[in-house]
Amino acid sequence: MRTISKQQSLTATREDYIRAIYILQESIDEVGVTQIADKLGLSKSTVSERLKDLVQDGLVIADPYSEVTLTKAGVEVGTKLTYKHRLIEVFLNTVLKIPKDEVHEEAHRLEHAVSDKVIQQLAKFLDYPENDPHGSAIPKVKKWN
Protein backbone atom coordinates (compact mmCIF):
# COMPACT_ATOMS: atom_id res chain seq x y z
CA MET A 1 0.00 0.00 0.00
CA ARG A 2 1.40 3.40 -0.94
CA THR A 3 0.55 6.40 1.18
CA ILE A 4 0.01 10.02 0.31
CA SER A 5 2.77 12.12 1.82
CA LYS A 6 2.21 15.60 3.19
CA GLN A 7 4.10 17.04 0.23
CA GLN A 8 2.16 15.01 -2.34
CA SER A 9 -1.24 16.48 -3.02
CA LEU A 10 -4.39 14.76 -4.15
CA THR A 11 -5.98 15.63 -7.45
CA ALA A 12 -9.32 17.43 -7.42
CA THR A 13 -10.94 14.26 -8.76
CA ARG A 14 -9.60 12.14 -5.91
CA GLU A 15 -10.65 14.80 -3.44
CA ASP A 16 -14.16 14.68 -4.93
CA TYR A 17 -14.33 10.92 -4.34
CA ILE A 18 -13.13 11.22 -0.76
CA ARG A 19 -15.53 14.05 0.02
CA ALA A 20 -18.45 12.18 -1.60
CA ILE A 21 -17.76 9.14 0.59
CA TYR A 22 -17.39 11.38 3.65
CA ILE A 23 -20.72 13.14 2.95
CA LEU A 24 -22.49 9.86 2.24
CA GLN A 25 -21.17 8.37 5.48
CA GLU A 26 -22.72 11.32 7.34
CA SER A 27 -26.18 10.28 6.20
CA ILE A 28 -26.26 6.52 5.49
CA ASP A 29 -24.89 3.46 7.25
CA GLU A 30 -23.43 1.58 4.30
CA VAL A 31 -21.82 3.36 1.39
CA GLY A 32 -21.31 1.38 -1.78
CA VAL A 33 -20.17 1.98 -5.33
CA THR A 34 -23.75 2.66 -6.43
CA GLN A 35 -24.24 5.49 -3.93
CA ILE A 36 -20.88 7.04 -4.83
CA ALA A 37 -21.66 6.80 -8.55
CA ASP A 38 -25.06 8.45 -8.02
CA LYS A 39 -23.55 11.23 -5.87
CA LEU A 40 -20.83 12.00 -8.43
CA GLY A 41 -22.97 11.40 -11.54
CA LEU A 42 -20.61 8.70 -12.83
CA SER A 43 -20.91 5.07 -13.88
CA LYS A 44 -20.33 2.33 -11.33
CA SER A 45 -17.46 0.95 -13.41
CA THR A 46 -15.69 4.33 -13.40
CA VAL A 47 -16.10 4.62 -9.64
CA SER A 48 -14.84 1.06 -9.10
CA GLU A 49 -11.71 1.78 -11.13
CA ARG A 50 -10.94 5.04 -9.36
CA LEU A 51 -11.52 3.51 -5.93
CA LYS A 52 -8.64 1.12 -6.60
CA ASP A 53 -6.21 4.06 -6.56
CA LEU A 54 -7.65 5.39 -3.31
CA VAL A 55 -7.29 1.93 -1.76
CA GLN A 56 -3.63 1.82 -2.87
CA ASP A 57 -3.12 5.29 -1.37
CA GLY A 58 -4.44 4.05 1.97
CA LEU A 59 -7.42 6.41 1.97
CA VAL A 60 -10.28 3.96 1.33
CA ILE A 61 -11.17 0.39 2.19
CA ALA A 62 -13.18 -1.18 -0.63
CA ASP A 63 -13.61 -4.77 -1.66
CA PRO A 64 -15.61 -5.75 -4.72
CA TYR A 65 -19.36 -5.90 -3.98
CA SER A 66 -18.97 -4.62 -0.43
CA GLU A 67 -19.13 -1.47 1.63
CA VAL A 68 -16.73 1.39 0.94
CA THR A 69 -15.26 3.15 3.98
CA LEU A 70 -12.65 5.79 4.57
CA THR A 71 -9.52 4.90 6.49
CA LYS A 72 -8.34 7.15 9.31
CA ALA A 73 -6.25 9.08 6.76
CA GLY A 74 -9.26 9.26 4.42
CA VAL A 75 -11.47 10.63 7.20
CA GLU A 76 -8.86 13.33 7.89
CA VAL A 77 -8.85 14.35 4.23
CA GLY A 78 -12.66 14.21 4.01
CA THR A 79 -13.03 16.28 7.17
CA LYS A 80 -10.67 18.97 5.88
CA LEU A 81 -12.38 19.13 2.49
CA THR A 82 -15.82 19.35 4.06
CA TYR A 83 -14.59 22.01 6.48
CA LYS A 84 -13.18 24.04 3.58
CA HIS A 85 -16.31 23.61 1.47
CA ARG A 86 -18.75 24.59 4.19
CA LEU A 87 -16.62 27.50 5.41
CA ILE A 88 -16.39 28.84 1.86
CA GLU A 89 -20.18 28.54 1.58
CA VAL A 90 -20.52 30.67 4.72
CA PHE A 91 -18.19 33.30 3.27
CA LEU A 92 -19.96 33.39 -0.08
CA ASN A 93 -23.37 33.68 1.55
CA THR A 94 -22.73 36.01 4.49
CA VAL A 95 -20.00 38.26 3.15
CA LEU A 96 -20.55 38.26 -0.60
CA LYS A 97 -24.34 37.87 -0.24
CA ILE A 98 -24.59 35.07 -2.79
CA PRO A 99 -27.90 33.25 -2.23
CA LYS A 100 -27.51 29.99 -0.33
CA ASP A 101 -28.98 27.98 -3.21
CA GLU A 102 -26.07 29.18 -5.39
CA VAL A 103 -23.08 28.79 -3.07
CA HIS A 104 -22.56 25.02 -3.35
CA GLU A 105 -21.13 24.95 -6.87
CA GLU A 106 -18.86 27.94 -6.24
CA ALA A 107 -17.61 26.40 -2.98
CA HIS A 108 -16.96 23.13 -4.79
CA ARG A 109 -14.69 24.87 -7.28
CA LEU A 110 -12.88 26.89 -4.61
CA GLU A 111 -12.34 24.08 -2.08
CA HIS A 112 -9.67 22.58 -4.34
CA ALA A 113 -7.81 25.85 -4.83
CA VAL A 114 -7.78 27.54 -1.42
CA SER A 115 -4.78 26.74 0.77
CA ASP A 116 -5.03 25.54 4.36
CA LYS A 117 -3.41 28.79 5.47
CA VAL A 118 -6.09 30.88 3.77
CA ILE A 119 -8.86 28.65 5.16
CA GLN A 120 -7.53 29.10 8.69
CA GLN A 121 -7.52 32.88 8.24
CA LEU A 122 -11.00 32.76 6.70
CA ALA A 123 -12.29 30.79 9.70
CA LYS A 124 -10.87 33.41 12.04
CA PHE A 125 -12.36 36.23 9.92
CA LEU A 126 -15.79 34.55 10.04
CA ASP A 127 -15.42 33.94 13.81
CA TYR A 128 -15.38 30.15 13.45
CA PRO A 129 -18.94 29.45 12.34
CA GLU A 130 -20.47 26.13 13.39
CA ASN A 131 -22.93 25.63 10.50
CA ASP A 132 -22.99 26.32 6.78
CA PRO A 133 -25.82 28.32 5.16
CA HIS A 134 -27.81 25.09 4.65
CA GLY A 135 -27.66 24.20 8.35
CA SER A 136 -25.06 21.42 8.06
CA ALA A 137 -22.46 21.31 10.82
CA ILE A 138 -18.98 22.44 9.91
CA PRO A 139 -16.74 19.62 11.15
CA LYS A 140 -13.87 20.29 13.51
CA VAL A 141 -10.38 19.78 12.09
CA LYS A 142 -7.88 18.42 14.61
CA LYS A 143 -4.71 19.31 12.76
CA TRP A 144 -3.81 21.09 9.54
CA ASN A 145 -0.32 19.72 8.91
> Model confidence over 69-91: pLDDT tens digits?
999 999 999 999 999 999 999 99
CA 22 to chain centre: 6
- Please give the pLDDT value at position 6: 41
CA 5 to chain centre: 18
Q: Is the pLDDT of residue 8 over 60?
A: no
* Amino acid at residue number 12: A
Segment holding 4, helix H or strand E: none
Rounded Cα distance between 20 and 39, Å, is: 7
Bridge partners of 61, per DSSP, are 69
Helices 72-90 and 116-125: crossing angle in degrees, nearest 10, is 50
Closest by CA to 54, choosing from 7, 97, 10, is 10
Q: Are 8 and 2 in contact (CB under 8 A)?
A: no
Q: Is the pLDDT of residue 65 over 90?
A: no
